[in-house]
Structure 1
Amino acid sequence: MTFQISAISIYNKDGEIRTVPFQTGTLNIITGDARRGKSAILTIVDYCLGSDEFVIRGAALRNFVHLFALTVVKDDQQLFVARPAPVGKAATNTTFCIISQAHGAPPPAYTELTFSMPLDIAKKVLSKFTGIDPSVQLPVARSVRQLSPSVRHGLFFCLQEQNEVANHDLLFHGQTEDYHRPALRAMLPYFLGAVDPERAQREHQLKLLRRQLAEAQERLEAARPFQHASGTAAALLGEAIEANLLDPAPAGHLRSHDEILARLRIATETTAADTVPPAAEDPLSALAATRRDLRQAYAQTRVRISNLKTVAREKDDFLGQVHEQRARLATLGLLPRAHPEMPPQDGLCPVCGSHAPDASQATQIMRQDLERLNAEMTTIGEATLDVNARIAEEEEALADLRAALARNQEEIEVLSAGQRAASQDDPQQRAAVVQGRISLFLDSMARHTQAPPVADRREELTMQIAELEEQLGNTVQDDLLSSYLSLVNQKIQAKATALELEHHDEPIRLDPQALTLIADTRRGPVKMSEMGSGQNYLGYHIATMLSLHEWFTEIRSPVPRFLILDQPSQAGFPDETRDGGFGSARATLLNLYTTIQASLQELHGNFQVIVLEHADLDDEPFRSAVRARWRRSNGEALVPEHWITYDADQ
């Protein structure tokens, strides 16, 4: 079992304590006028259970309360959790005081409290008290990070603020926050009991391995060694010649990788001559002409490959027809005899085996046709092999042309960049720019050469990924989630029927991805937001929360065993609804509390509901569940009136 709320307490600057007690295992209602501090009960619980923000509103609470505290109980254990209000202009306070107490002990005096526990440690202590396993790691959809369940995640199912309890667009507490929705989707299966922690860990490991494989591929691409006479090196060599840093090489001379690098190093140490190279020597024009030739050769090679593939297909079709004709003749027993010394059976019909005139002549003609077909099959088969070999040669040539085009494009880009960077009117400046580009290239290549080799782990990672995928191939977890949701859905539908909600006579299901309820009708699925009327939204919220807590209790899930509802009656019910008025609205609200009470009775004290209300009914189970009435007429409120004092200069 996990914890319920025994009391909330507030302290003023003088150390005076105001405590609001609650009964565990039952319905607790605080009713009263607006702005008397009812809604602050929910936000105080949220703040003391590790909220990252100071969520408490109201001038009296912010100005005259210096400490907020919560007393929670589990079996015979009791924990007192205190958290100060922010000091000065601070947005929140991140220190806690958490004390283990004897069951039933009152809140300690302010002087007995020491605030030294940081927020992250306080969350871990509260999560452990809730019963959450700290070693569990859950994967988050479309993210490489993992989440550890905490008490904060349990509060998704324990709190319903005033703007949430009847909201048609959201079902769970905090669902409006973008960063909460992925956490909700990850946590719902866990708290429902459908998550195997070991499987969750393997799923996260699989996600990490896939990312490592992609990164390994990127590193190998980046570490690929420089190709001999690469486009960049060759283009820089051309720039150096054009800038008069090097003499032109003999026409048609093939340069090795080492020769190009050696000449580039010479270019960095050479002082450019003042003469300008002949106008006819334009490397860009030469590269453009080369590119035209390469593109023409590329197009011609593609045409040849297409023609060869057409010939191959035609030969395959013809060969298929020849096979068919040969098979027909072979069935007549006209294949070569197994024993050539056996004399032919002249005068016998090859079809029926009987004696017939001119049978020998017909047999001879068909045998000749069969021999011709055998010869054609052999010839065509050999020709097909030749065509396939030609196709392979042409495709290899096409790949070489594609690589040559890529190198040519790289040379054009490098030369174009160099010409844009340097002044055409100043040979010395152009030469200096080219030398700088060559130096940068040589330095980059040196760093690449000296860097430690990148290990190729792709095969290892691929094997690990395949192994994990095989382990995770089964759908046990998905089946468990579907099964458990089906049981929860049955509970929701039963409560929808008791509350007479729209679509209560049709299948209702909780969608763990859309985080909403859906009614499956003959007209198609209907989401909760499309069901209409505040009564339906309110009813389905409460039906869902009660059903989930019934399931959490049955499977002993580590979710806090309380539900706080802030003003379920909303503005549709006046502050004072006693003396039997307000007809159907009153009956609807009373039916809501009857449904809550039925759920509490079914759980035999293992669940607690706290309701903060405007309405005040004089009927059971409402009347006996009221713990306080905070009204202006009786001067009662969360913050005592004598705490609210202002200095004269305020």
Structure 2
Amino acid sequence: MTFQIQAVTIYGKQPGQMRTVPFKTGALNIVTGDSRRGKSALLTIIDYCLASSDYPVKAGKVRDYVSTYAVTLTKPGQQLFVARRAPEDKAVSTVMCVLTQAPGTPPPALEDLRFTTPGDVAKDLLSSFCGIDSTVRVPAVGKNALIAPSIRHALFFCFQAQNEVANPDVLFHSQGEDWRPNTIRGVLPYFLGAVDREQALLQNKLRNLRRDLADNEAVIAVSADLTPASGQAQALLSEAVEVGLLPPQTGELTADLILRHLRNAMVHGELRPNLPDTDPLAALNTRRTELRRLFSQSRAQIADLKMALAENNEFNDQAIEQRARLTSLGLLNRDEDASGHNRCPVCDSTVPSANDTIAGLTRDLAHLDSDLQAIGSDTPAIRRLLVHHESRLQELRSELARNQDQIQELTTAMRTIQQEPDDLRRSAIVQGRISLYLDTAAQHTAAPRVLDRREELREQIAQLEGQLSGSTQDERLTSFLSLINQEIKEKAQALDLDFADSPIRLDTIRLTVVADTLDGPVQLKNMGSAENHLGYHVSTLLSLHEWFTRHQSPVPRVLLLDQPSQVYFPAEATGEEDLQTNDRTHLLNIFETLHRTLQQLDGRMQIIVMEHADLDDPAFSQHVVERWRYGNDSALVPSSWMDPAES
């Protein structure tokens, strides 16, 4: 069970100044008032107290006269009081006050608060109070990182600020900030309940093994460059042949064989006539050209495989979605004995070719199943080829590095020995370089060798991939979204929104709402009218919270909406007299939809609306808990806090 908000409390900068705004749990709470009375600050205060990393409270009277913010969180049998000081000298406070209280306990006085809980610890405590599993890790889509879901991630689905509630370009809170879309995509399956804990653990283990394999391959590649078979050893062998210390070498030269030849050059080396027709440097350059060609070819093959893998994944996602739509029609279970009635399975009206239609849709479903099976068998093979070519690319990269070492070593040595007119002196110089290298190689051989775990890790990776090949997480997510989409559509129809008669779906990739019309998909940003934007925001968030509530998801049971009426009349308006009859009806319909959803959830969810309008209609007025207007001298920050005579 997760929490709702019982109260917001602010403490002034003068002794004894304290103001509490209470809220009803399990109900619709409307705070209405004039501009600049502190309504929007409620959302930012709650955000700040729930372990925000920055200071979201906007400049103004609240910042000027408030020293400390607090929020009281409640759930059955438990209550948590969280307080946080306002920043001093623009530095956000990193410590908080977190108190466990008996239910119904009022907020304590400022002098009784002790700010000793570090911010990261407070975030963990709040996440635990919210019911979030601290052991779960989910991938951040588009980033090579894992995320531990926290209270901060749950708030994406709980807040709608004034610039978000009817924004056609963003659907969730903070979606417009850097990296937030990837994070939202990563945590949404967890909060919807599509992430199986055991499968999540296996996925995390698989990612760790892949990282260990990459690290082990990199260490081995570096170690291989330093072994006696390095480019320097081969270059010294070429120098020894060049000055006549060794005869020309043929056949495959292993690391041990090169070392033996170099030792022979030191012990038994004697001058032999140079062979003017041999050019080891030209041979190295030719080999380098061939290595570069192979390297480019391997990179191109990897790019093609990655593209094929991405296309497979994209097709698989689309096919699963289409399969879910076909399956949801219930055609697969249709009674064969009733097929002669020629009725539409959707609307039950008489259709001359109903059997043909059903047969065609069934064939489409069978084709989709066949395609999904084919894609499922192709994908592991593509991954294995990708691993093979990436391993080959690493080998080519190491060989290119050794080749470059040989060229540099040989070029330097030839420049040195060619300055010596005496063959004996040239031979002595090369022997000295070989002696230094052999001493270094001996020290390296004595050092601990790198443990080659590549085969072991590859076997473990293959085993885990086999275990996860039958993962149902994607199918579960598709199924859940299909049910949520039905709720969004029903609410859109109740709000009389455009496109509500078309199939409506929540696009978790683009993080928007899409209507699938006969002319193609229409995203929220392409739907005209701010009323549609507001309506689909409300429909989507309410549908998600219904799902969260009914499936015990660890998301706070509270939805905050800041000024939804802005769609219908300008911010400077003062009340319902500024609303046209049609606009007034539509606005009341929004609040009736909010209240109806809460009734269906039987008090298990809370909605707080900060509103400029103040309508004289029971659908609105019976839910008003605060009126902050200049006429009654009421606001979030009492006017007495700003009166010097009262300080």
Q: TM-score range with shorter-chain normalisation?
A: 0.7 to 0.9
Deviation at 1:409, TM superposition (A): 7.7
Q: Secondary structure at the match of 1:18?
A: strand
Partner of 1:216: 216
Return closer, same or farther for 1:595/1:265 CA change in 2, 3 Å cut-off.
farther
Could you say what secondary structure the match of 1:569 adopts? Answer: helix
- 2:235 and 2:406 in contact (8 A); partners too: yes
From 465, 475, 486, give the equivalent of 2:482. 486
Supply the AA of the counterpart residue of 2:609: V
Whether 1:542 aligns to 2:543 is no
Counterpart in the other structure of 1:359: none
CA change 1:464–1:107 in 2 (3 A) is: same
Q: Which residue of 2 aligns with 1:10?
A: 10
Query: Secondary structure in 1 aligned to 2:224?
Result: coil
CA–CA separation in structure 1 for the residues paired with 2:401 and 2:558: 68
Name the SS for the 1:19 alignment partner: strand
**1:596-631 superposed Cα distances (whole Å, 9 cap, x missing partner):** 111111111111111111222111211111122222
Larger mean Cα displacement after TM superposition, 157-166 or 475-484:
475-484
CA RMSD, aligned part only? 3.8
Letter in 2 for 1:213: L
Displacement after TM superposition at 1:50 (Å): 0.7
| Structure-2 separation of matches of 1:590 and 1:531 | 22
Structure 1 residue 508 displacement after superposition: 0.6
SS in 2 for 1:175: coil
Counterpart for residue 588 of structure 1: 586
Conservation of the 8 A alpha-carbon contact between 1:139 and 1:203: no
**1-structure distance, mates of 2:435, 2:182:** 50
- Secondary structure of 1:25's aligned partner: coil
**Correspondence for 1:87:** 88
Query: Which residue pairs with 2:321 in the alignment?
Result: none
Q: Partner residue of 1:42?
A: 43
Evaluate the alpha carbon distance shift between residue 632 and residue 148 of structure 1 in structure 2; reply closer, same or farther with a 3 A threshold. Answer: same
> Whole-Å Cα distance in 1 between the matches of residues 203 and 19 of structure 2?
49
Deviation at 1:108, TM superposition (A): 0.5
Quickly say closer, same or farther: Cα 1:528–1:418, change in 2 above 3 A: farther
Change beyond 3 A, Cα 1:642–1:250: closer
What residue is the counterpart of 1:640 in the other structure? 638
Matches within 5 A, 1:186-335: 186-224=186-224, 232-236=232-236, 238=238, 248-249=244-245, 251-252=247-248, 256-262=257-263, 285=279, 287-288=281-282
Instruction: Specify the code of the residue in structure 2 equivalent to 1:176.
Output: G
Which of 585, 595, 598 is equivalent to 2:596?
598
Aligned counterpart in structure 2 of residue 414 of structure 1, from 406, 409, 418: 409
Residues in 2 aligned to 1:406 and 1:108: alpha-carbon distance in whole angstroms: 68
* Residue number in structure 2 paired with 1:576: 574
Distance 1:295 1:88 in 2: 61
Structure 2 residue 188 is matched with structure 1 residue 166: no
CA distance in 1, matches of 2:97, 2:147: 26
Residues 249-281 of structure 1: per-residue CA shift (max 9 Å, x gap): 265477952355447879xxxxxxxxxx99x98
Runs of 4+ in structure 1 over 6 Å off: 225-230, 263-266, 280-284, 289-296, 403-410, 422-428, 430-440
CA contact (8 A) 1:126 1:151 kept: yes
Q: Is the 8 A contact 2:417 2:429 kept in 1?
A: no
Aligned counterparts of 1:498 and 1:424: Cα–Cα separation in 2: 92
Deviation at 1:167, TM superposition (A): 1.2
How far did residue 222 of structure 1 move?
A: 3.1
Mapped partners of 2:50, 2:634: distance in 1: 26
Equivalent residue number for residue 147 of structure 1: 147
Counterpart in the other structure of 1:474:
470
Q: TM-score, normalised by structure 1?
A: 0.72
In the alignment, is the contact (CA less than 8 A) between 2:238 and 2:280 conserved in 1?
no
Written as runs of structure 1 = structure 2, the 5 A alignment for 1:32-111 is 32-90=33-91, 92-111=92-111
Check conservation: 1:138, 1:201, Cα contact below 8 A: no
Q: Which has the higher helix share?
A: 2
Shift of 1:84: 0.7
CA contact 2:11–2:67 (8 Å) conserved in 1: yes
CA distance in 2, matches of 1:487, 1:551: 9
Q: Secondary structure at the match of 1:464?
A: helix
2-structure distance, mates of 1:292, 1:552: 65
Letter in 2 for 1:582: Q
Q: In structure 2, list runs of 5 or more residues that go unmatched.
A: 291-397
Q: Which has the larger radius of gyration?
A: 1
Q: CA deviation at 1:187?
A: 1.7
Structure 2 CA distance for aligned equivalents of residues 133 and 289 of structure 1 = 62
> How far is the alpha carbon of 1:644 from its aligned partner?
2.4
Check 1:51–1:173 CA distance in 2 against 1; reply closer, same or farther (3 A cut): same
Aligned-partner residue type, residue 488 of structure 2 = I
Q: TM-score, normalised by structure 2?
A: 0.73
Q: Does 1:138 align with 2:128?
A: no
CA 1:293–1:601: 2 relative to 1, 3 Å: closer
1:434 and 1:644 map into 2 onto residues whose CA distance is: 89
Contact 1:565–1:612 (CA under 8 A) maintained in structure 2: yes
Count of aligned pairs between the two proteins: 525
Identity %: 50
